[in-house]
Amino acid sequence: MIFEQHYLDCLSQASYLIGDERTGRAVVVDPRRDVSVYLDAAAEHGLAIELVLETHFHADFLSGHLELAEAAGAEIAYGDKAETEFESRKLLDGEHIELGDVLLEIRHTPGHTPESISIVVWAHHDDDVPHAVLTGDTMFIGDVGRPDLLSSKGVTAEQLAGMLYDSLHQQLLSLPDETRVYPAHGAGSACGKNLSSDTWSTIGVQRATNYALQPMSKEEFVTVVTAGQTAPPAYFAYDAGLNRELRALLDEATPPREMTIDDIVAAQAMGVVVLDTRGPVEFAHGHVRGSLNIGMAGRYAEFAGGMITPDREIIVVADDGRALEAKNRLARIGFDRVIGALSSPAASLAARPDVVAYSQRVDVDQLREAIESVDDLQLVDVRQPGETEQGVIDGAVLIPLTQLTARCHELDPERPTIVYCAGGFRSSIAASHLAGEGFVNVSDLLGGWGSWAAGQMELA
């Protein structure tokens, strides 16, 4: 058996290539949209990808089932509760897919979504213990799938949580303890609230350590898994719908067209978003006035999906050689309207100082001074609720970054504003967004809450 996990750190997303060496037949499970990685791996192992299996309609990324079906001539398959605009095979609970010696068993595991399935992987037909189970978003390492996302319209979170309880106990925890667990996501994903950084585990370890799998009634389980979920990025509902639809395919090899800075300023005046993908330090040292800073070093696409609506056209500002990466990573969440790119930003901006703006960033001492001396200071904390439980700077307004676009009207653009997050990455995104919305004096805190808390300890 060929069994490969392909993990995207930037989306905390796992996909899988499973093949039979004897027959050369293979499947891919939950593929990302830029599918060349699976085609290259299959060619390396002498495999032919015949089937694309989706564990459910994903909300956090746009799956590559259509791209892979086109490139490999593969069939697309979902659990039989899924309805798609494109042709797809419907998989029954208990159905077997034989690749040769390798056998896949489909188990219906609704709860995260009504159509969710898990896939039990047997290396040989007559094995006593399956090699693994691919759990999609039903079971994670350290957590279980959240039942409250908008991908499941018409079904309440409580109803889905009840289904999830049954799926976990009847379909997954009935597997032998030695069975490996391979989920669709890891730490950092908004598809759960307590995901581990481990990318696989076993049924036995999860039975013993996963908080949601400890002995409790269904009613207790529903309460536990529906409480404390963070606000998901705004694009989740968009992707959940788009994953059902027949849509345009991604060309992952062609970079966006190069544009001059004059082209970019003219497009910006027409409502195009200028997305600067450099790090906060480079952005602070000079950027196109009114641009949004989301660096590619972090959860770039996820943050972009929370700050930009999918109907907006985008021009990316990228370091040399990274414009294609910037485009393709946006395409992973279905944001395809990248109309151009400004490469070599430092040289381009140096040639046009009249369109350049600079970010204000303050350190802990400067923030402390501002709190003491600026009467109408507006302090904004953009961390998630679970993070703010660690503490909050006195007087701060709490608006998670995922809600900032929708709640920007709650802030006064005329007041001096300082934004902070945990470490200084998200605050640069938030500050650039507020500046683009016309806030007259906005800064962000270097080092974020971490630096502030450390400074307070030193003063104690």
The CA distance from 94 to 79, in Å, is 11
**Domains defined for the chain, CATH in brackets:** 2-242 (3.60.15.10), 261-357 (3.40.250.10), 360-459 (3.40.250.10)
Mean residue pLDDT across the chain = 94
Q: What is the pLDDT of residues 277-304, one digit of tens each?
A: 999 999 999 999 999 999 999 899 999 9
How high is the pLDDT of residue 195?
80
User: What's the whole-number mean pLDDT along residues 78-97?
Assistant: 97
Tell me which of 377 and 190 has the higher pLDDT: 377
Q: Tell which residue, 256, 254, 162, has the closest CA to residue 216.
A: 162
How high is the pLDDT of residue 139?
97
Helix (H) or strand (E) holding 14: strand 13-19
User: What's the whole-number mean pLDDT along residues 247-257?
Assistant: 97
Is pLDDT above 70 for 190? yes
How high is the pLDDT of residue 456?
81
Token pair listed for 409: 């009207």
Is pLDDT above 50 for 364? yes
Specify burial of residue 395 (Cβ count, 10 A radius: 0-12, 13-18, 19+).
Answer: exposed
How high is the pLDDT of residue 150?
52
The CA distance from 309 to 433, in Å, is 13
User: What's the whole-number mean pLDDT along residues 376-381?
Assistant: 97
How high is the pLDDT of residue 232?
78
How high is the pLDDT of residue 407?
93
The CA distance from 50 to 157, in Å, is 35
pLDDT band with cut points at 50, 70 and 90 for residue 151: very low
Token pair listed for 179: 């069975």
Specify burial of residue 79 (Cβ count, 10 A radius: 0-12, 13-18, 19+).
Answer: buried
The CA distance from 279 to 304, in Å, is 14
Quote the distance between the C-alpha of residue 132 and its chain's center.
24
How high is the pLDDT of residue 459?
67
What end-to-end distance do the CA atoms of the chain give, in Å? 59
Q: What's the whole-model pTM score? A: 0.94
Is pLDDT above 60 for 152? no
The CA distance from 363 to 133, in Å, is 48
Residue 211, classed as helix, strand or coil, is: helix
pLDDT band with cut points at 50, 70 and 90 for residue 460: low
Residue 355, classed as helix, strand or coil, is: helix
Q: What is the pLDDT of residues 23-77, one digit of tens each?
A: 999 999 999 999 999 999 999 999 999 999 999 999 999 999 999 999 999 999 9
